[in-house]
Amino acid sequence: MSGDNTKERAAIRAAMDRLLAGTPLRADGALTVIALAVEADVKRHVLTHRHTDLKDEFYARVRAQSQVPDSERKLREELKQTKERLADVLKENKRLKAEAEVFARIINVLEMENDQLKGKQGRSRTVIPLPGPR
């Protein structure tokens, strides 16, 4: 095995350990070959073509590990909270849209009433003097 090959394998094994421990340095923490390649700082094809034994070992260790890494657990909880917040925001948005439609109707009615009142005043052009002081 060449020196580069040995260095790659060592980097991949170290990346495997970090990912499985939930302490990645470069990757997003997902337990995939893509994340492993990112974490090991190698191209994906290096794992899928040159070091297939390490790829297989990684997947075997992932299957053997019955627990979800803390980083993934945190991401799942954050996603759950984000989805709940989104549902609340969508509900509030729907309520505000309905409220805006009510206000638009009220404004239209008030404008029509205002136009009618102005029209009545406009027809009567007779000026009636107000009584003066006595």
- Domain chopping of the chain, boundaries: 3-64
Q: What is the pLDDT along the chain (134 residues), one digit of tens a residue?
A: 567 789 999 999 999 999 988 899 999 888 889 999 999 999 999 989 999 999 999 988 888 886 666 667 788 899 999 999 999 999 999 999 999 999 999 999 999 999 888 876 555 566 677 777 76
DSSP labels, 44-88: HHIIIII-HHHHHHHHHHHHH--SPPHHHHHHHHHHHHHHHHHHH
